[in-house]
Amino acid sequence: MVTKFVIFCAFITFAACSAKQGTDENKSILSKTKENAISYEDYSAPLYPNETPELRRMIIEAAKENNVPVELVQRQIIRESTHRPGARNGPYYGLMQILPATARSMGFRGKPKDLLDAETNLKYSVRYLRGAWLV
């Protein structure tokens, strides 16, 4: 379990460092809106490719619920699935490409295919991401 956590932390660090950086204008918009966003309507940054307003709302809610920066969640999603909830890569599922076993360790009790639901995937993936982010 510790080994998986260390590997996950290394992966998160690599993903954050290697993710394509947005324009200065987009960074400015994100910086100005993220702290003040109480609801989706308050979060006015442009949508990413494949992102929908509903998905943006769910991402913000999951980030706030787990006290994780919205940008961290967004970058992880861009890196793992480019905002495609139905993404599959080997044993990994959904927006944040979480393993069913990892999701189970975060309280998930469904079938692996249930992780292809954006809200379900965010609930358990962002909960797991919080642990890595705190380290």
Question: Which residues lie below 8 Å from residue 79, measured CB to CB, with a gap of 6+?
Answer: 15, 19
Q: What are phi and psi of 105, to 5 degrees?
A: -65, -15
What is the secondary structure of 1-43 as a DSSP string?
-HHHHHHHHHHHHHHHHHSPP--HHHHHHHHHHHTT-SSGGG-
CB neighbourhood size of 87 (10 A): 19
Residue 44 has pLDDT above 90, yes or no: no
Which residue, chain included where needed, has tokens 């999951």?
Answer: 62
| Model confidence pLDDT, tens digit, residues 92-135 | 999 999 999 999 999 999 999 999 999 999 999 999 999 988 87
pLDDT of 6 reads: 46
